[in-house]
Chain A
Amino acid sequence: MIRKLGILVILASLLVAAVPVGDAAAQEEMGAVREAPAVRPAANVPFLFSAFALTWIVLWVYLVHVHRGQRRLEKMLGALGEENRVG
């Protein structure tokens, strides 16, 4: 599991390195954000939805992964204890 994560980390770092550095024009845009006109409240909802969905999916996957691992270990410990008693 962790080794696979290691490979993912390497791939992610390559992907991040491929992202171009923000140019001066982009930096200027940031400076203008505070003075930007009011936007429609419904605009950019897909970004909000993606961020929320991603957060909950990541948290649920982690919870299920840890919970399943815990159940598997408890079952294994129970079986080993039973074997020791019989043996």
Chain B
Amino acid sequence: MKERGGFVDSLLLALLGVVMLLNLYLIFYHAPVERTMGLVQKIFYFHVPSAWIAFLAFFVVFVGSAGYLITGREGYDRTAHSSAGIGVLFCSLVLLTGPLWAKPVWGIWWTWDPRLTSTLVLWFLYVGYLLLRSYLPEGPRRATLSAILGIVGFLDVPIVYLSIRWWRNQHPSPVVGGGSGSGLDPRMKAVFFFSLFAFTLLYVVLLRLRTRHARSEEAARSVLEERKRTL
């Protein structure tokens, strides 16, 4: 079973390497340069997929947390915790690459508009989730409290997503599925969707790696506790 898992991991890593290189090639050589923003618009091809992965990761936290509260199985809690770490990582990337795109285009690094502010709140919520887990002793209480925060935190995701539809703000309106007047050049759209696929694959690889790490941590803890009891 372990060998099969290792084979799958190797296969996924090899596939990820190829897909990421192809993604870079498509971003820089296939996607056309945007007329008004120039080359800096290419940040779009990993800024938006990073946001998508953050949303996906926090959705997995939501499902894992709900699963733990319903069944009490530790596997759900472990998956939720692993996914929260990855979600914070990608949400951090969104908050770092966004200002680097905003400065040359808007002339400012940051503004307190609904999309940006709700994304920052989302980041704080899940950093809080990770801090809560690190400060509480391991056990059902920690898992239950984390699950509640994991579920409540996810309420911010639809607010972040819909903020550019609900309120007029600095952040651009959606270019994919944004209705009439919005849209992307077909080549840009193809590269964008490929980038979404590449980042999703990256998320799957990271989640497998992180959950395996969490399982090893639990195994090490239980071995050490058993030793303490026998000594």
Contacts and interface: CB of A to CB of B under 8 A. Distances in A.
B36 A38 contact: yes
A14 to B, nearest CB: 13
Contacts of A42: 38-39
A80 B224 contact: yes
Given A67-B209, A77-B223, A51 B101 contact: yes
B168 to A, nearest CB: 10
B89 A58 contact: yes
B21 interface: no
Nearest to B50: A55
A81 B220 CA distance: 10
Looking at chain B's contact residues, is the secondary structure mostly helix, strand, loop, or mixed? helix
Contacts of A29: 106-107
Interface in A3-41: 3, 5-6, 9, 13, 16, 19, 21-22, 26-27, 29-30, 33-34, 36-41
B100 A54 contact: yes
A21 B5 CA distance: 50
Sorting the interface of chain A by its residue count into under 10, 10 to 19, 20 to 34 or 35 or more gives 35 or more
B127 interface: yes
A5 B106 contact: no
B193 interface: no
Interface stretch (B57-65, B91-99, B184-192): B91-99
Contacts of A66: 206, 209-210, 213
A26 B106 contact: yes
Nearest to B35: A38
A36 to B, nearest CB: 5
A32 B201 CA distance: 37
B170 interface: yes
A2 B134 contact: yes
Contact of B37 (A39, A62, A73): A39
B89 A62 contact: yes
Interface string B42-68: 110011001000000000000000000
Interface of A: 2-3, 5-6, 9, 13, 16, 19, 21-22, 26-27, 29-30, 33-34, 36-45, 47-48, 50-52, 54-55, 58-59, 62-63, 66-67, 69-70, 73-74, 76-77, 80-81, 84
Given A69-B213, A73-B213, 20 more contacts: A2-B131, A5-B130, A5-B131, A30-B106, A33-B37, A34-B36, A38-B36, A41-B38, A42-B38, A43-B104, A44-B37, A44-B104, A50-B100, A55-B46, A55-B93, A58-B92, A66-B213, A73-B219, A74-B216, A77-B220
20 contacts: A2-B131, A22-B108, A22-B110, A22-B113, A22-B170, A38-B36, A38-B38, A39-B38, A40-B38, A42-B39, A43-B40, A43-B104, A44-B104, A51-B96, A55-B96, A58-B93, A59-B89, A73-B220, A76-B220, A80-B223
